[in-house]
A and B are shown apart, each in its own frame.
Chain A
């Protein structure tokens, strides 16, 4: 598994619109004008400034969402335009990544629905993700062991405690 910005398939064409930075609004001269007895490093100051061009319902795909850490276009706020793409090798890890992507979508929509429970469109989107997640988890657990201790009915032996645990990655061998 590795991460590489250069291999990112994400479309960067709209990118400059998505980056909210102080640099855009203030020039270095303005900065000098206010410069009293302390200095603020304007170049590296990142402000949590959301732009609401897009509607709340404008979602990234689960894959893009996990790469960005955000399902909601209108909330996305990158640091120094860094976006990474998760790449894994092998069937097992690819399926696990798919589960992680769908889990992420469920988690992020979950938080939105907590405070917007009446949004029917989002609830349907949430249900679709849960359904897809369940199917993929089932496939994984049938083939590679349980992700949850109760998913044990496919096995004659006790599989839960078997390696690997999430912190035991292969150190780049895979």
Chain B
């Protein structure tokens, strides 16, 4: 079971509203390479890991990714918090407003709702781990693209943190993959 801790993994406090960035950041919320995808992917793949290393690593990374999903939600929510209706219209978020007002809905930056079609659960640990490595790299690249789009340090700092976590996750999956490979899987 899961327990909630009433804090974020890394502090988020965005003071400047930025509707354009809020829209772009949706790729890491409900996009193919986003944090919800990541968490759900590892959570669902863990049942067919061959040993305790795989079971624990996938459980723990899935758990951390859910905390990242929370951070992205908080960032988007703070970016749109004080926006007027007029500003939302100007930013092209009027289509968002009619469905969700200033809520945080899991979709990508083009408004496509989150779908489990973004993830794979093959039942084969080697295939799954290879997908996981690719997923971490895609998420890392997406964070870099997002960091190119803003100069706001309040936003850059958590983005930089989240990007670095993908680097670590990628490497852990890679280590496990290589160990399984040595064992002839």
Contact = CB atoms under 8 A, between A and B. Distances in A.
A117 B153 CA distance: 38
Contact of B13 (A50, A108, A169): A169
A170 B143 CA distance: 26
Contacts of B160: 69, 78-79, 82-84
A97 B10 CA distance: 8
A88 B10 CA distance: 12
B86 interface: no
B6 A44 contact: no
B164 interface: yes
Contacts of B179: 115
Nearest to B12: A169
A3, A46, A114, A172: most-surrounded residue (chain B CB, <10 A): A114
A60 B162 CA distance: 17
A96 interface: yes
Contacts of A4: 153
B3 A148 contact: yes
Given A5-B153, A75-B168, A79-B163, A111 B5 contact: no
B15 A171 contact: yes
Contacts of B168: 69-70, 72, 75, 108, 111
Contacts, number: 134
Nearest to B143: A79
Contacts of A165: 6
Contacts of A86: 10-11, 157
A47 B28 CA distance: 20
Interface string B1-24: 001111111111111000000000
Contacts of A152: none
Interface string B23-42: 00000000000000000000
Nearest to B145: A44
Interface string A69-106: 11010011111101110101000000011011001100
Contact of B157 (A3, A50, A72): A3
B144 interface: yes
A3 B73 CA distance: 20
A112 interface: yes
B156 A82 contact: yes
Interface string B145-177: 001100001101100111111011111100110
A107 B162 CA distance: 14
A93 to B, nearest CB: 8
A146 B6 CA distance: 8
Which 6 residue pairs spanning A and B have beta carbons closest together?
A69-B164, A84-B157, A3-B157, A172-B15, A69-B161, A169-B13
Interface of B: 3-15, 53, 56-57, 60-61, 64, 70, 73-74, 77-78, 137, 140, 143-144, 147-148, 153-154, 156-157, 160-165, 167-172, 175-176, 179
23 contacts: A2-B13, A2-B153, A48-B140, A66-B161, A68-B164, A69-B10, A69-B160, A69-B162, A69-B164, A75-B171, A82-B160, A100-B11, A103-B7, A107-B64, A111-B60, A111-B61, A114-B60, A115-B57, A115-B172, A115-B176, A148-B4, A148-B5, A167-B77
